[in-house]
A and B are shown apart, each in its own frame.
Chain A
Amino acid sequence: MATVLLNLMIVAILLSALVILGTRWLRVYIHAYAFQSLTLSLLTGLLAVQTGHGVLYAVAVLTYLVRGLIVPLILLRVTKNPVMEQEMNLFLKVPSSLLIGISLVICAYLVSLRLLGRQGNPFVIGAVAVALALVLIGFFVLSCRSQAVTHVLALLIVENGIFLGSVVLAPGMPLIVELVVLFDILVTVIAMSVMVQIMAIRLGTTSAAELQRLTG
């Protein structure tokens, strides 16, 4: 039964990343990210029960607090700015980005299969595939969406992917590393939010597509 739950969570995590590719609404992005983080922390908790690494309990709780609660709240606050366009103008349409997203998932699966070998635990192969897929999808979102806040979210998705990988591959990872990573996420998000606010005030836009004066 635990395996079924773990599998469900992993697919839920993957699905929430694809939701981000499949929508134009900024708020949906943030909610999908919050949902993803919540699932991730539940997954961590379940793994803590399974593997018996006490550290993971703490990591699960902290993950939820930072990734699932504080960061989405900060981002929601930032998007309240009237300058922020709520519905995005995409230069890659939804179906194409979804298809590219799916191909990235397949890619990630093949890489994971090669990296860990066919004999490995199928759950670990699946989880690592999803982790890599999140990293790839994050980079894809980073390059194809022009809103400043989506850049932040893209980086956060990449971080979530890496976190998933670390929880599954190296559950014994020292707490200090997890702690500094969370701290880093918090600081980065705050710094980027401040940047977005300054951009909104000084430039009157938060679309990164407007940022193309510096070339050559």
Chain B
Amino acid sequence: MVLTALFVIPLVVAIAAVIGRYRRTLEWVVAAGGVGVLVCAVLLLIQVVTAGPVRLLDGFLEVDSLCVFTILTVALVSCTASIYSVGYMRYVLGNSPESQARLHRYHALQALFILTMLVSPALSNLGVYLIGIELTTIMSTFLVSFERAHESLEAGWKYIVIVSAGISLALLGTILLYFAGTPVLGSVYSLDWRTVHAVAPQLDARMVKVIFILILIGYGTKVGLAPMHTWLPDAHSEAPSPVSALLSGALLNTAMFGVLRFYTITAASVGEAYPQALLIIVGLLSMAIASFAIIQQRDEKRLFAYSSVEHMGIIAVGFGFGGTLGVFGGLLHMLNHSLAKSLLFYGAGNVLRKYQTKEIGRITGIIRVMPVTGIVWMLGGLAILGAPPFSLFLSEFAILAAGVGRRLWLPSLIFLGLILIVFVAFFSYLNTMVFGRPPERLSRGELNGWTVAPLVLSFIPVLWLGLYIPHPVQHVLDQVSELLLGEVSP
């Protein structure tokens, strides 16, 4: 019931955007849809935690703990992004009748994008999940190039080409997995992840290793893990800000979900050491490449995009370090990163509209021009860098502790070093942007209420989760950890 509602709400919003006539009504529908999605996701979370997996359409859709966790992160960002997009698109499009049509198209695409991201993790068939991911790409491509400038078209094209190529490798991996399963399960069987997981120990180990590499490259492209990350800074920086937030906060997690699913299968087949080593290598590489790009960055949105690459690296390293602490840290970091990064992109959107530039050197004194945005943005920036008492400190610390606990000295040291490098570079940029003397010509004041509320809404859980993790979240984290550590719940 809740599950159906979760999928129907974005669909209704999309339809309303297509057939609706009035701008005000549409804006309220979009915002209400966002809130509705979040409410459904939370209800679903409670239901799954207490009563076990929820199935729909004869098991075609199945929501287990890992899935509901992913859906929760998507829903959180969808909620704030929907609200934010209402205020933001007013500034992008203006009031002409032509822009009215484009506004409707934007909201329809955004709702469909959210829908595909919510559905994909729930698809139990690994082949169908893959196509779900590809559909998210297609929906978001048009959102990325929505502004139709040279740069945004370039970003959109690179995005769809690189990610589709990656997904096709994942498809190859999925088909090889089916082939690997045929000696055990017969030539015709359903490519349900539970079915495969159940027979994982009997699969050809060499084949499974090849499959995991293909999957890691394939979904890794979508997650933005280096060296397949090249589309990410372009797409995230050229998209309209609410879309940047959705891409960074929600989409990356739905793709990471795929890596985790295959991680469980691989771990059950060839042991944990092999996939963990790969995840650590790829994760550290992502962090390293991102940190060097951050050091010499001139564009604020690209700065945040590279920071996303870095955080996806951190999450991968978290799962790579493994153990209860590592997996817990990785999962919590997925949630935290979604919240904090979307906050930063909302702030970046406000700044972009106010200053009409993305160049870091030309943005100064935000705190005097837009006090609320400035303060929350600064705090959000501190949070994303992992400063206490925010929740990202907790998750990064857990990951580091897991690495040290397993005596992986060198990776832990590199991990810590890279985080420190990013901290210094990122913080100095943030400092120059938020403080200092603002340009004279700018009018003081926020854009409008719609664009400030999401910042605050995202900030509250970042702080809250740092101080105290609510019981249902704690519970779902425990369940997912169990799942990833090798015990499949029925």
User: CB within 8 Å of B: which residues of A?
Assistant: 53, 115, 135, 139, 142, 148, 151, 154-155, 158-159, 162, 165-166, 169-174, 176-177, 180-181, 183-184, 187-188, 191-192, 194-195, 198-199, 202-203, 208, 211-214, 216
Secondary structure class of chain B's binding surface, majority of residues: helix
CB–CB B127/A181 < 8 A? yes
CB–CB B182/A172 < 8 A? yes
Number of A-B residue pairs having CB atoms within 8 Å of each other in the complex: 124
Give the residues from 121 to 169 in chain B that come closer than 8 angstroms, CB to CB, to chain A.
Answer: 125, 127-128, 131, 134-135, 138, 141-142, 145, 148, 150-151, 153-158, 160-161, 164-165, 168
The residues of B that contact A158 with a CB separation of less than 8 Å are 165, 168
The residues of B that contact A212 with a CB separation of less than 8 Å are 154
Given contacts A170-B187, A184-B135, contact A202 B165 (CB under 8 A): no
Cα A158 to Cα B302 with chains together (Å) = 31
Q: Of B128, B154, B187, which one neighbours A214 at CB under 8 angstroms? A: B154
CB–CB A171/B150 < 8 A? no
The residues of B that contact A187 with a CB separation of less than 8 Å are 134-135, 138
Q: Of A142, A166, A176, which one neighbours B175 at CB under 8 angstroms? A: A166
Cα A83 to Cα B73 with chains together (Å) = 43
Whether B296 sits at the interface, judged by CB under 8 Å, is yes
CB–CB B298/A202 < 8 A? no
The residues of B that contact A165 with a CB separation of less than 8 Å are 172, 175-176
B137 → chain A closest CB, angstroms: 8
CB–CB B154/A177 < 8 A? no
Q: A174-B127, A202-B150 are in contact. List 16 more A-B contacts (CB 8 A).
A: A115-B207, A135-B172, A142-B161, A165-B176, A171-B187, A176-B127, A181-B131, A184-B135, A187-B138, A191-B141, A194-B142, A195-B157, A195-B160, A213-B150, A213-B154, A214-B234
Q: Which 9 A-B pairs have the closest CB atoms?
A: A172-B187, A172-B188, A177-B127, A211-B154, A169-B179, A180-B131, A166-B175, A214-B234, A191-B138
The residues of A that contact B156 with a CB separation of less than 8 Å are 195
Cα A211 to Cα B151 with chains together (Å) = 8
Cα A162 to Cα B151 with chains together (Å) = 32
The residues of B that contact A203 with a CB separation of less than 8 Å are 150, 153
Given contacts A195-B157, A216-B298, contact A177 B165 (CB under 8 A): no
Given contacts A142-B161, A191-B160, A199-B157, contact A170 B134 (CB under 8 A): no
Q: Of B125, B164, B237, which one neighbours A177 at CB under 8 angstroms? A: B125
CB–CB A173/B178 < 8 A? yes
CB–CB A155/B138 < 8 A? no
B38 → chain A closest CB, angstroms: 28
CB–CB B145/A188 < 8 A? no
Whether B171 sits at the interface, judged by CB under 8 Å, is yes
Whether B238 sits at the interface, judged by CB under 8 Å, is yes
Q: Of B158, B164, B172, B179, which one neighbours A211 at CB under 8 angstroms? A: B158
A-B contact pairs, 15 of them (CB 8 A): A115-B207, A135-B168, A151-B161, A155-B164, A155-B165, A158-B165, A169-B175, A169-B179, A172-B188, A184-B134, A187-B135, A194-B142, A195-B156, A203-B153, A214-B151
Cα A177 to Cα B132 with chains together (Å) = 12
Secondary structure class of chain A's binding surface, majority of residues: helix
Whether B432 sits at the interface, judged by CB under 8 Å, is no
Cα A183 to Cα B160 with chains together (Å) = 16
Cα A165 to Cα B176 with chains together (Å) = 9
A148 → chain B closest CB, angstroms: 7
Whether B448 sits at the interface, judged by CB under 8 Å, is no
CB–CB B135/A170 < 8 A? no
Give the residues from 420 to 472 in chain B that come closer than 8 angstroms, CB to CB, to chain A.
Answer: none
Contact with A along B170-190 (1 / 0, CB 8 A): 011001101100100011111
A88 → chain B closest CB, angstroms: 17
The residues of A that contact B190 with a CB separation of less than 8 Å are 174
CB–CB B161/A216 < 8 A? no
CB–CB B157/A162 < 8 A? no
Cα A165 to Cα B174 with chains together (Å) = 11
Whether B297 sits at the interface, judged by CB under 8 Å, is yes
Whether B191 sits at the interface, judged by CB under 8 Å, is yes
The residues of A that contact B151 with a CB separation of less than 8 Å are 213-214
Given contacts A169-B179, A198-B148, A214-B155, contact A174 B188 (CB under 8 A): yes
CB–CB A216/B128 < 8 A? no
Whether B61 sits at the interface, judged by CB under 8 Å, is no
The residues of B that contact A177 with a CB separation of less than 8 Å are 125, 127-128, 178, 191
Cα A8 to Cα B237 with chains together (Å) = 49
Given contacts A169-B175, A184-B134, contact A176 B153 (CB under 8 A): no
The residues of A that contact B160 with a CB separation of less than 8 Å are 188, 191-192, 195
Name the residue in A172, A177, A213 with the highest tally of chain B Cβ atoms < 10 Å from its Cβ.
Answer: A177
Contact with A along B298-317 (1 / 0, CB 8 A): 11001000000000000000
CB–CB B164/A216 < 8 A? no
The residues of B that contact A169 with a CB separation of less than 8 Å are 175-176, 178-179
Cα A148 to Cα B156 with chains together (Å) = 12
Give the residues from 391 to 413 in chain B that come closer than 8 angstroms, CB to CB, to chain A.
Answer: none
Q: Of B161, B191, B296, which one neighbours A155 at CB under 8 angstroms? A: B161
CB–CB A162/B191 < 8 A? no
Whether B210 sits at the interface, judged by CB under 8 Å, is yes
CB–CB A211/B168 < 8 A? no
CB–CB B150/A174 < 8 A? no
Cα A170 to Cα B160 with chains together (Å) = 28
Cα A213 to Cα B158 with chains together (Å) = 12
Cα A170 to Cα B187 with chains together (Å) = 7
CB–CB B128/A202 < 8 A? no
Cα A142 to Cα B164 with chains together (Å) = 11
The residues of A that contact B161 with a CB separation of less than 8 Å are 142, 151, 155, 192
Whether B89 sits at the interface, judged by CB under 8 Å, is no
CB–CB B293/A216 < 8 A? yes
CB–CB A148/B128 < 8 A? no
